[in-house]
Amino acid sequence: MSVGLDFGTATCSVSHVVENKVRSIALNEGEIFIPSTLCAPSREAITEYLYRHLNISPMSEVGDKLLRGSINKNKTEGLDLIPDDIRFGRQATALYLEDPTDYYYVKSPKSFLGILGLDDIRYTIFEDIVCAMMANIKQNIEASLNKQVDETVIGRPINFHSKGGEESNIQAENILRRAASRAGFKHIEFQFEPVAAGLEYEANLTSDKNVLVVDIGGGTSDCSLIRMGPSWVGKQQRSESLLGHAGSFVGGNDLDINLASQSFMFEFGKDTNSKSGLPMPNMPFWECIAINDVVAQKTFYSRSNLRTLKAMQSSATQPDKLARLIEVYQNTLGHSIVAEAERVKIALSDCGNYTATIQLPSDSLSIPVSLQQMEKSIYWPVRKIQKLVKETLAQAATQPDEIFITGGSARSPIVRETIKSVVGDVPIANGDYVGSVTSGLARWADLCFG
């Protein structure tokens, strides 16, 4: 049996085709979308968990060495690992927030795929993390369907990372393939995410058209100009239908983080001065909300950074605002601030003004945000999306008949107007903002393996 798997930056989802109709598959307590998160007692616990509780062995000498080291370290530290020690999705975040200093937390592992310069150990660690998440997904699929699932088509962005080019893409796809294979999938194919989204749209076309597919995911955005329609349905060889494509490491997370930075963080001391008249250093205000940057998050929540934040507060002209930043540190609230920015972004898709609410232990902040203010806040990531559209049209050397836009941030009128500013007066359509890619992957899996 085959499924389409969207291993996304923000969420993961799976669908399959039943009697020519796409059906979503529940992955976790009935949830169709599971957040791309993992929480464990330690990094070493993940490697031992795969071997001890899932019977998943390493596939290399480096993996064998990593496993032996993990088991020895866990034994030395008295960690008697049980299956429930490793959590995924919302349960992972809930466990981590109980005490962030006690757990190893990974959010959006797709974000670090394609990073070049990794040594063999780090490469293998990344593979173990992805494998654990894929194994959990596979277990949930088979529990929901009561069937063994061996075949999958996995979605991938056109470019995993902004640097490294095709070398980065090869490295990222290799990690995904090896992780999926170790997790138990026997037949694995890949499909570009915007192409998959286009396949879902194509199913409803009654005539052939050139369609510009813009897929704005959580961590990446992709743009493709594709020939599609009845003449192409059911064809596995579609290289001639892809007229142009471009991708970049920018997505909905970047919009949310920039919105939080420009609209919220002044309430925490950003852009204020010290008593000496010098501006407060900007980096801590960025690091606390850069939830897609592992290094930035580790730096902000490090023990040594608390001394830095208290020193900033003692020298501040507005120490009450810096006290809020310390509360963010002490209660690990960076994720919740960005989550509120996402809610604002969604709300401003339908109205011109919205009041954000940020709950701190000591206070509740109400921050009004206008559509114009959001447009200014997300200017640079939106310009990057605009650049993708321009690159795609330049490659194709032709104009689209229609635009199909998908991804959570595709709801934003700012994003839509940005695309129209490049393409002109071309009809824009949208389907399921968050499910089009998964549905298309399911259709491609049915075509490949059916």
Is there a domain that residue 448 lies in?
A: no
Nearest to 416, CA basis, from 397, 431, 429: 429
Domain-embedded: residue 202: no
Give tens-digit pLDDT for 87-114.
999 899 888 877 777 888 888 888 888 8
Q: Identify the domain boundary among 155, 185, 215.
A: 185
Per-residue pLDDT tens over the stretch 307-316: 999 999 999 9
**Among candidate residues 110, 126, 120, the one with its CA nearest the CA of residue 43:** 126
Percent of residues, the chain, with pLDDT higher than 70? 99
Number of domains within the chain: 3
Q: Give residue 260's pLDDT.
A: 97
412 and 339: one domain?
no
User: For 332, phi and psi rounded to 5 degrees?
Assistant: 50, 60
Decide if 248 contacts 440 (C-beta within 8 A): no
Q: For residue 115, what pLDDT band results from cuts at 50, 70 and 90?
A: confident
**Residues 225 and 98 reside in one and the same domain:** no
Model pTM? 0.80
pLDDT at 438: 94
Instruction: Tell me: do 46 and 144 sit in the same domain.
Output: yes
Nearest partner of 185 among 142, 138, 127, judged by Cα: 138
C-alpha–C-alpha distance, residues 180 and 186, integer Å: 8
Q: What CATH number corresponds to the domain at position 116?
A: 3.30.420.40
Is residue 284 domain-shared with residue 137, that is, in the same domain?
Answer: no
Q: Are 230 and 215 in contact (CB under 8 A)?
A: no
Percent of the chain topping pLDDT 90:
66
User: Is residue 440 a part of any domain in this protein?
Assistant: no
Category of 204 on φ-ψ map: left (φ > 0), alpha (ψ -120 to 50) or beta = alpha
Cα 142 to Cα 15, 139, 198, 360, 382: the distances in Å are: 12, 5, 27, 41, 39
Residues 122 and 214 in one domain: no
Say if residue 6 is in the same domain as residue 84.
yes
One domain, residues 33 and 82: yes
With contact defined as beta carbons under 8 Å apart, do 327 and 361 qualify?
yes
Q: Are 225 and 313 part of one and the same domain?
A: no
Residue 190 lies in a domain: no
**Any domain includes 413:** yes
Question: Based on the domain organization, do 390 and 366 belong to the same domain?
Answer: no
159 and 286 share a domain? no
411 and 332 both lie in a single domain:
no
CB contact at 8 A, 5 and 442: no
The verdict on residue 288 lying in a domain is yes
Query: Residue 376 in contact with residue 169, Cβ under 8 Å?
Result: no
Is 136 part of any domain? yes
Burial (CB count within 10 angstroms: exposed 0-12, middle 13-18, buried 19+), residue 3: buried
* Residues of the domain holding 415: 207-251+380-431
- Mean pLDDT over the full length of the chain: 91
Q: Decide if 201 is inside a domain.
A: no
Looking at the structure, tell me whether residues 169 and 180 fall in a common domain. Answer: yes
